[in-house]
Structure 1
Amino acid sequence: MNLRYRLNLIVTAVLLIILVIGAVKAIHSAREDVRAEVASTMDFALHMLNAELSHFKFKDKVLKEQPESPFMLNKLTGVRHLRIEFYGMHNQLIESNEDETSNDHKPYPDWFGREMYSALDDLKPERLPVYVNSQKIGELVIKPKPDNEIAEAWDETKTLLTMISLFFVFVNILVYLVVARALKPIDQIISALTDIETGNLDSRLPIFELPEMASISHKFNMMASTLQSSIRNNHRLTQQIIRLQEAERKSLAHELHDEIGQHLTAIHVDASVIKSTNDLEAAKKSASAIDEVVGLMMDILRTMLQRLRPGGLDELGFIAAMQELVDSWRERHPNIEVEYQFDGEFSSLEENAQLTLYRVIQECLTNISRHSKAKQAWIILKEEKRAIHLTVSDNGKGFEPSQHTQRFGLAGMKERLDSVGGTFDITSNLNQGVTIDVTVPKQGDNA
């Protein structure tokens, strides 16, 4: 069951409970009204008849001329809510105000009548003895007869219940329409999410009228924009990685062809000389040349392997490898003064994080030598409680970071740091140098 029907079902249940409570209160109020009305009428009739009997004297003539109707109760058929009867000494009914021609049809349901009559259980018939010349001749009996009052109460209750029922139906329809209108944005949200799922990242939500839905619109559109930007950056970085890979392969191919190929050719020539000559001196000279070429090839191979993966990390350890990196760079660039400070043991740093920091420092040093025109550079690497903090700065010409985010290998550095949960921040202005702050969490802190 979807949310719309569930909300309507809850509202319907609440309204139904209100309807039942209203019906019960209406019936209870009708019971109280019927009882109060009948009790009041009986009390009034009792006082009136007591007053009448206190000074009324029957005459023998009345009893003789009207033995079947001495009190002429048939003229009181219009009295509401009461049945008045006159009984003789032998408990025989002599007369009553009951209209014998009236039908027994009740203009109210039986269940309603039973509810109303149950309220009159404590109203017992009242009996008034009748005396003539100090001789008891019978009794006047007053009984409740609430049919008319019950009929009126039923009409009022029926009207009230009808109004409550109409209110129930009206509110139900109104709530259904309001809920349907309020939840209409959900269909648009689902449609937009489906578009995102199928790869349509241009999908956006309109700004809805409801503040809560409007907030969802803003958040969704921001999420879609961020996702779209992230995917575009990923595509761009993927293309950049592919280009870098191809450039690296091309460079390696050139070096293998130009350097290794030439040296191998020289070795082949000298080996052929040794093979074909009988001159010991010529053979020694060729062997010496081969030894020299092999040494050059080993240097070239070591440099190529260093570019592919710094061997110092495995052989020397993290701190020694970093020191070797900076010292070898310093030897190649004696015109730039470099100061470095490595504080900490870095024993809890993962291999991937170590390689990332190594490559970041390597890239920073490359940028300093190629672009900064700096005279001084500083490298500070500190081990803190939960993370490793690296700062690389120089006093070179600087640049505007917002205009060069894709240059100087900055995107590659950020991508490397993202892979280990690190952060990257760059500060620079023209002619004020560059400062790069890097934070890499220790093992387990980036989980």
Structure 2
Amino acid sequence: MSGFKKISSAIVAVFIVCFIVFSCSVYFQIRQNINDETSSALNQVQEMLKANMNAGDIKAVAEQSPHLSVTGFTGRLSMPANNHSDNRPIYLPIHENQYLVVRAHDTAELVQNMNLFWLVAALFFTTLSVLLFTLKVAVRQRLKPLNQLGDALQQLVDGKATNNFEDSDIKEVKRVIGQFQRLQYSLQSKERQLVKIDKKLALLQEQERSYLARELHDNVGQLLTTIKAHAYILVNSNEPSMLELSANKVQAMSQQISDAIRHLTAHLHPLVLDRVSLQQSLEKLVFEQELAQPKTEWQVSINLNKFAQEHERDIHIYRFVQEAINNVVKHADASKVWVHISGDKQGLTINIRDNGKGFDGGVIENVGMSSMQSRARCIGATCAVKSPKEGGVRVQLSLSLLDTEDLRQVNVA
């Protein structure tokens, strides 16, 4: 049922109830007025009869009254004459066994009053019809922007945007349309961001593939080629010194291949998380960077003893910290780095800061930053990367396990 039908049905129901109540009250009021006027006219005739006025004069007065009727009666009365009560007829004797009968006559006045009542009823229903027609036109015209809003929502579901709305002087309608337009703009902005993220992820995949191809070709491939050459010497040479040299070379290069494969494996997946806790993995990660950057002063505080472990979530946290530290090493040119990571049953907080050159504009977007923000979203955390005025870069991650648990309970429900 449309909004107009609901409104009109409610109005019609109210009008009908009001009309029934009004009709009943008017009808009983009319009947009461007629009874009062008829009783008053009969009382007047009774008073004239008590005053011994002759029947002719009483007849003349009664005939002029719209509330009385005068008729003749011939015969004997079975009840005492002129016993007036409850608007009963009054009998005026003329001759023996002949009487003038004065009765209450309310039909004419009742008809007159009912005609007036039906006229009022006709005006009542005419007013109702005009009101409903006016309401229909007004509702259709005033709610036209809402119909356009419904069409716009359907177009938005279909992936199309529109701003084709007529102006409305209804404050609430204008507010709803304004909120829709803001929502539409926000969705378009989010869609553009998703497109940018898709492009960055595609670029990141290509960079990963290029890195793997380069490592396999330039490092492992060349080592295997050299091992192949030394294996040929081992098979075909008879000189002990050459055999010993080639065997040592093969052994050394095999170790280099093993180290290279281990490095690639750690790059693809942090195997250390499969063997030790998240805290130990992060400590090892930072320690390796300290060894690789001896000129940089590191202040490290990692406390995750009470933090509940979850393998999938721990991988995202490890990669987040890894990317943040790699950015410091590659781009910051810092002499001091602060790494503070703490977690308990309620959540996790990560703060990584350096005193390097920072960047202009307060925030920067690249593949690494997008990767950190994406990993933060995956675990339901908030991520902030800023370059304060005093220099350097500050990376912060905040994870509330209480919010995550509530979200899971809602999803399960």
Classify the TM-score, shorter chain: 0.7 to 0.9
Mapped pair 1:388 → 2:351: no
Counterpart residue number, 1:326 = 286
Distance 1:371 1:207 in 2: 53
Q: 1:330: Cα distance to partner?
A: 1.0
Check the 8 A contact 2:341/2:349 in 1, yes or no: yes
Q: 1:88: Cα distance to partner?
A: 5.2
Check the 8 A contact 1:85/1:140 in 2, yes or no: yes
Q: 2:178 aligns with which of 209, 218, 224?
A: 218
* Counterpart residue identity of residue 436, structure 1: V
Mapped pair 1:444 → 2:368: no
Q: 1:48: Cα distance to partner?
A: 2.3
Distance 1:196 1:286 in 2: 70
* Counterpart residue identity of residue 428, structure 1: S
Mapped pair 1:7 → 2:4: no
Check the 8 A contact 1:88/1:139 in 2, yes or no: yes
Distance 1:218 1:297 in 2: 63
Counterpart residue number, 1:434 = 393
Q: 1:10: Cα distance to partner?
A: 2.3
Mapped pair 1:80 → 2:40: no
**TM, length-normalised to structure 2:** 0.88
Check the 8 A contact 2:335/2:355 in 1, yes or no: yes
Check the 8 A contact 1:125/1:143 in 2, yes or no: yes
Counterpart residue number, 2:373 = 414
Distance 2:333 2:103 in 1: 120
Listed as ranges, the matches of 1:231-250 within 5 Å are 231-250=191-210
**TM, length-normalised to structure 1:** 0.82
Q: 1:367: Cα distance to partner?
A: 1.7
Name the CA shift for 1:170/1:349 in 2 (closer, same or farther; >3 Å): farther
Unaligned runs of 5+ in 2: 79-84, 409-413
Counterpart residue number, 2:106 = 146
Q: 1:386: Cα distance to partner?
A: 2.5
Q: 2:211 aligns with which of 251, 256, 276?
A: 251
Q: 1:424 aligns with which of 359, 376, 383?
A: 383
* Counterpart residue identity of residue 66, structure 2: R
Distance 1:50 1:233 in 2: 107
Mapped pair 1:125 → 2:88: yes
Using the TM superposition, name which of 277-286 and 231-240 deviates more: 277-286
Check the 8 A contact 2:45/2:58 in 1, yes or no: no
Distance 1:317 1:204 in 2: 57
Name the CA shift for 1:176/1:123 in 2 (closer, same or farther; >3 Å): farther
Check the 8 A contact 1:353/1:440 in 2, yes or no: no
Q: 1:138: Cα distance to partner?
A: 6.0
Listed as ranges, the matches of 1:396-411 within 5 Å are 396-402=356-362, 404-407=363-366, 409-411=368-370
Name the CA shift for 1:36/1:160 in 2 (closer, same or farther; >3 Å): farther
Counterpart residue number, 2:82 = none
Q: 2:115 aligns with which of 148, 151, 155?
A: 155
Name the CA shift for 1:88/1:420 in 2 (closer, same or farther; >3 Å): same
Distance 1:82 1:367 in 2: 113
Counterpart residue number, 2:27 = 27
Q: 1:197: Cα distance to partner?
A: 1.4
* Counterpart residue identity of residue 33, structure 1: N
How many pairs are equivalent?
400
Q: 1:293: Cα distance to partner?
A: 0.2
Aligned-pair identity in percent equals 21
Q: 1:194: Cα distance to partner?
A: 1.7
Using the TM superposition, name which of 409-418 and 378-387 deviates more: 378-387
Q: 1:384: Cα distance to partner?
A: 3.9
Listed as ranges, the matches of 1:7-406 within 5 Å are 7-53=7-53, 56=54, 73=59, 77-85=63-71, 87=73, 90-91=76-77, 123-127=86-90, 130=93, 141-201=101-161, 203=163, 205=165, 208-345=168-305, 347-402=307-362, 404-406=363-365
Q: 1:430: Cα distance to partner?
A: 4.1
Using the TM superposition, name which of 376-385 and 74-83 deviates more: 74-83
Check the 8 A contact 2:356/2:393 in 1, yes or no: yes
* Counterpart residue identity of residue 64, structure 2: G
Counterpart residue number, 1:98 = none
Distance 2:111 2:92 in 1: 32
* Counterpart residue identity of residue 29, structure 1: Q
Quick one: higher RCO (CA 8 Å, sep 6+), 1 or 2?
1
RMSD: 2.7
Name the CA shift for 1:204/1:168 in 2 (closer, same or farther; >3 Å): closer
Name the CA shift for 1:362/1:171 in 2 (closer, same or farther; >3 Å): same
Distance 2:213 2:110 in 1: 109
Counterpart residue number, 1:111 = none
Using the TM superposition, name which of 216-225 and 431-440 deviates more: 431-440
Check the 8 A contact 2:38/2:87 in 1, yes or no: no
Partner secondary structure for residue 386 of structure 2: strand
Name the CA shift for 1:147/1:401 in 2 (closer, same or farther; >3 Å): same
Name the CA shift for 1:3/1:354 in 2 (closer, same or farther; >3 Å): same
Check the 8 A contact 1:123/1:144 in 2, yes or no: no
Deviations 1:60-91 (A, max 9, x none): xxxxxxxxx97794785433211234545624
* Counterpart residue identity of residue 238, structure 2: N
Check the 8 A contact 1:399/1:431 in 2, yes or no: no
Partner secondary structure for residue 405 of structure 2: coil
Check the 8 A contact 1:397/1:431 in 2, yes or no: no
Distance 1:203 1:351 in 2: 47
Check the 8 A contact 1:204/1:221 in 2, yes or no: no
Distance 2:323 2:300 in 1: 16
Distance 1:37 1:74 in 2: 18
Name the CA shift for 1:25/1:223 in 2 (closer, same or farther; >3 Å): same
Deviations 1:289-313 (A, max 9, x none): 1110010111111111111111111
Distance 2:94 2:228 in 1: 160
